[in-house]
Amino acid sequence: MTNVLITGGSGYLGGSLLAYLKQNPTVLPPGTTLYGLVRNEEQAQKTRSHYGIDPLILDLASQQAITNTFLEKNITVVAFLIDARRSEVQVRIIKALAKVQAKMGRQAHFIQTAGAKGFSSHAGFPLEPPVEDVDGGLYEIHKEGRGKESAARSMCEADVAIVEAAEEFGVRAYIVAPCIVYGEGEGFGNRISIQTVAIVKAAKATRRVYNVNQGRAVWPVCHVRDQSALYARLLHNILSGVEVNYNKKGFFLASPGAVAWRDLYAAMAKALLRKGLIDDDEVHDADEKAVAEMARGLGCEPKMVAFSLGGVCTWVPRHGKSIGWKPEHAPEHILEAADDEVELILKNI
């Protein structure tokens, strides 16, 4: 029997993963027990009813609380889906997993949810020639990442700290990087993504859709069910004893491929115009005034607008498919689904 803790059940990615696992009960080997991390009794009740698993209320600020709970529940696998920009909690969890590993004599595993921004122009990541997520030198490239934005730097630093902690304590870590994820979440909490939401919010504030990039900017995309399927496949292989690359070689980009930001802007502009939320469906080049207006709509500083809904990521996904992941949606599906995405976002913001 293997006991697995999954965090983020009230969030977009974590909730969708837990729903996916409930809908596909044979994905994980027999004898697997799932726990869902929750913050309060209300979430605990929803975790039981929505996902059919036992909740855990745990003080993540306390090393002792984490370690004692893990030892009591014999938790040896954690999928962490709640924070890509810090590493303190994740390192505490890795230390606790090492204690259970020593107690049970069973390899422990930690899955970190990162972000494609840490592998993009925002983090100074190499763009040409493109780097594959199976590249043996990826860890060193990532470690040296020096982006202009502190948010991108913090993502890189968190991933590196997690890998280093895993190596120090003998735990196997896997860094899964979501990209532009879209589609309706299936958890009991948040049901919408981030970047597509930012496009809608900025467009509502300016009544136009603006391009904030220079030249041809591309970014990987992934439907939320395909994102869940990658997590599930990784868990399946880990729990089944299938050898999977880990730590410095354990990076996974969850994506079937990339689309151009301008194409995504254009598809969403057409959907937004049909809703009467913008004045035309053209994609306009953003000037300083437009960026300031977009920032107000997003509730951020102007320098963070491009970080929220732009940039270049040429990182190539290979790792997921190498472990048996089969995405159902082609990259272009996000353009075809723009009307549904806009409708979903408007219902939830």
pLDDT tens digit string along 231-269? 999 999 999 999 999 999 999 999 999 999 999 999 999
Collect all residues with Cβ–Cβ distance below 8 Å to 87 and sequence separation of at least 6. 157, 158, 159, 161, 162, 165
Per-residue pLDDT tens for 293-330? 999 999 999 999 999 999 999 999 999 999 999 999 99
pLDDT computed for residue 147 by the predictor: 60
- Enumerate the domain spans of the chain: 2-192+219-256+313-328
Per-residue pLDDT tens for 143-187? 886 665 678 888 999 999 999 999 999 999 999 999 999 999 999
Number of H helices, E strands in the chain: 14, 12
pLDDT more than 70, % of the chain: 99
Specify the CATH number of the domain 2-192+219-256+313-328: 3.40.50.720
Is residue 195 pLDDT above 70, yes or no?
Answer: yes
Collect all residues with Cβ–Cβ distance below 8 Å to 89 and sequence separation of at least 6. 60, 61, 80, 83
pLDDT band at 44 (very low <50, low <70, confident <90, very high): very high
pLDDT computed for residue 51 by the predictor: 97
pLDDT band at 207 (very low <50, low <70, confident <90, very high): very high
pLDDT computed for residue 132 by the predictor: 98
Tokens at 302, concatenated: 């102007």
pLDDT band at 19 (very low <50, low <70, confident <90, very high): very high
pLDDT computed for residue 150 by the predictor: 75
- Cα radius of gyration rounded to whole Å, the chain: 20
Mean pLDDT, range 25-31, rounded to an integer: 95
pLDDT computed for residue 149 by the predictor: 66
Q: Which residue has the tokens 């603006």?
A: 210
Task: Kindly report the pTM of this predicted structure.
Answer: 0.97
Is residue 32 pLDDT above 90, yes or no?
Answer: yes
pLDDT band at 84 (very low <50, low <70, confident <90, very high): confident
* Whole-angstrom distance, CA of residue 19 vs CA of residue 17: 5
Length of the chain counted residue by residue: 349
pLDDT computed for residue 297 by the predictor: 98
Is residue 227 pLDDT above 70, yes or no?
Answer: yes
pLDDT computed for residue 197 by the predictor: 98
pLDDT computed for residue 153 by the predictor: 87
Collect all residues with Cβ–Cβ distance below 8 Å to 290 and sequence separation of at least 6. 206, 208, 210, 284
* Whole-angstrom distance, CA of residue 263 vs CA of residue 249: 33
Please, what is the average pLDDT of the chain? Answer: 96
pLDDT band at 224 (very low <50, low <70, confident <90, very high): very high
Tokens at 19, concatenated: 């729903």
Is residue 130 pLDDT above 90, yes or no?
Answer: yes
pLDDT computed for residue 1 by the predictor: 86
